[in-house]
Amino acid sequence: MKKRYLDAFFIALTGFLTILICSKSSPLYPLNDWVDANCYMTVGRAMTEGKLPYRDLFEHKGPLLYILHAAAALVSDSSFLGIFFFEMLACIWFLYLSCRLFRRFTGSSSLWAIPFIAMTVYGSYTFCHGDSAEEFCLPLILCAFLLGLDSIDHSKPPSGRNSYFMGVIAGVIFWMKFNLLGFFIGGFIILAVISLKNGFDSLVRMCSYIVLGVGTVSLPVIIYFAANDALYSLSEVYFYNNIFVYGGEKTPLLRNLADGAVFTVKFLPIGTLLIIAGIAAGVIRRKKRYLLYGGASLITAFLGAFAGHLSYQYYPLVLAPFAVIFCAQLIPYTEKSGKIAASASLVLCLTGTFILSPNTYLMKYEKSDLPQYRFAEIINETDSPTLLNYGFLDGGFYLAARIIPEQRYFCRNNLDFQAMTEAQRRCAESGLTDFIVTRSTTEKHPDFELYTCIAHEDFPYYDKILHYFLYRRNTPENPD
């Protein structure tokens, strides 16, 4: 019993320190300046004030992601402290599930490998910024894999309980970012074949429990939007726009997949090596069913993540659970280790994580160095100020100034289309907000007839310098 508590403490400590170092949501950072994370946080903060995603604020991720950020805003509506807490829990759960998977093959907790997994996943370049949907889905994907593993090991249909919870997990991911469900397609096909071998009734039973699990998550979401007369907005933005509008000009499937493969190797390098080595070890050890289950899930997860359009740096993160899944085949080839080896691994891997993480450059700055907080000081000199984040994704200026946006198109996101561009332009031309903030990769900035540029700040965003401009609406007190 004492060993179990020590193991749990070690995993929790590893998860806490890993997120403390790697995520820009950590208290060690002045701000998570990732534009996507700030979009989620702005919508979440607005939800605590009674506004609805899609209908009142135009953003295109899943509603559960915004609900998570609304909960985080209740912890702190002026920082990412709440998100840091949720990230930490997700990381600890992911590492705990990794430990459980390793235990199946070694009979021991293999604690020495846990910091290495943390470094591989959270210290990678694909873990840029922190607070992505992919990050929160890591433990969900690994948990679903483990729920199906008993069925694979014993070549029998999954139990009703396991099928139900796989459905619950699928429902959560579906309402967070539905293209991350690719993992379930490959895994479901393998489990369906096993169930069918045991009779059609077994397949129907498994599917019924999965549907029940999905429904358990989906029904409250649907009721929430229906009760607020916003089902059309939900279906239009989250489904139609993501499927048919997101990504702009469509690119050929093979180009998208090749781009995804390059991004995976480039931004998840150690994880890619673990996947390849683990598959080879599984072949040597003749783990046919395990490789079939894991391989089918990997292929469909890859297709779900990358088939739709060209990639972003954080996309390969959804494949990180497979580094654990296939690394489990390598664990038996290593010697069992004790507390000293685990402690040494923690120190070495945390050091490596700090060196490898692309995010740690931001630690050296204070809040007072950031354009977001410099502009907030000016903005908050006005009573009850209003603000428009013009022409780019939410830069964190709403959060820094503690403003809830009034405009539906509160920023320009990756679903950029004419209605959004026109709405932002009309807002600026009509002088609907007290302030406008915009940014540029050069020092050129737009002119607004009713506004005067009153501040300009430059700040690094990874390997480039961005230029931010603050405009104030002209008034008799503040003429042009």
The yes-or-no verdict on residue 302 having pLDDT over 70 is: yes
DSSP class per residue in 238-263: IIIIHHHTTTSS---HHHHHHHHHHH
- Residue 453's DSSP bridge partners are 471
Spans of all domains in the chain: 2-361, 365-473
Of all helices (H) and strands (E), which one includes residue 231?
A: helix 231-234
- Long-range pairs of 168-171 with CB within 8 A, sequence gap ≥ 24: 168/213, 168/214, 168/216, 168/217, 169/140, 169/141, 169/143, 169/144, 169/213, 170/144, 170/210, 170/213, 170/214, 171/213, 171/214, 171/215, 171/216, 171/217, 171/218
Write out pLDDT tens, residues 74-92.
999 999 999 999 999 999 9
Dihedral (C-alpha) 380, 408, 472, 382: value to the nearest 10 degrees? -20
Contact at 8 Å (CB) between 292 and 283?
A: no
Phi, psi of 219 (to 5 degrees): -60, -45
Looking at residue 124, what is its pLDDT?
A: 97
Q: Which of 376, 117, 290 is nearest to 389 (CA)?
A: 376
User: Which residues in 5-15 are b (16+ Cβ under 10 Å) and which e?
Assistant: eebeebbbebb
Looking at residue 335, what is its pLDDT?
A: 56
Residue 310 neighbours by CB distance under 10 Å: 16
Looking at residue 337, what is its pLDDT?
A: 64
Determine the 3-state secondary structure of 389 from DSSP. Answer: strand
The yes-or-no verdict on residue 57 having pLDDT over 80 is: yes
The yes-or-no verdict on residue 174 having pLDDT over 90 is: yes
Phi, psi of 397 (to 5 degrees): -75, -35
Higher pLDDT, 153 or 379: 379
What is the rounded average pLDDT of the residues 460-472? 94
Give the right CATH number for 365-473 from 3.40.190, 3.90.550, 1.20.120, 1.10.357: 3.40.190
The yes-or-no verdict on residue 360 having pLDDT over 70 is: yes
Q: Which of 169, 125, 136, 168 is nearest to 61 (CA)?
A: 136
Contact at 8 Å (CB) between 393 and 372?
A: no
Residue 311 neighbours by CB distance under 10 Å: 22
Q: What span, in angstroms and rounded, lies between the C-alpha atoms of 149 and 153?
A: 6
Looking at residue 444, what is its pLDDT?
A: 85
What is the rounded average pLDDT of the residues 424-453? 94
| Mean pLDDT over the full length of the chain | 94
- Which two tokens mark 265? 């190797």
Q: What span, in angstroms and rounded, lies between the C-alpha atoms of 215 and 91?
A: 26
- Residues present in the chain in total: 480
What is the rounded average pLDDT of the residues 334-347? 80
CA atoms within 13 A on the CB side of 374: 16
CA distances from 99 to 19, 91, 142 (A): 18, 12, 11
Contacts of 75 (CB under 8 A, 6+ apart): 81, 82, 85
Looking at residue 336, what is its pLDDT?
A: 62
Q: Which of 257, 263, 382, 274 is nearest to 324 (CA)?
A: 274
Looking at residue 145, what is its pLDDT?
A: 97
Report percent pLDDT > 70 for the chain: 97
Determine the 3-state secondary structure of 452 from DSSP. Answer: strand
Give all strands (DSSP E) within 312-463, no chain letters. Answer: 387-389, 435-440, 451-461
What is the rounded average pLDDT of the residues 205-211? 97
What is the rounded average pLDDT of the residues 361-388? 97
Q: What span, in angstroms and rounded, lies between the C-alpha atoms of 480 and 476?
A: 9
Question: Lowest-confidence range among 20-34, 130-144, 232-246?
Answer: 232-246
Q: How confident is the model at residue 244 (pLDDT cuts 50, 70, 90)?
A: confident
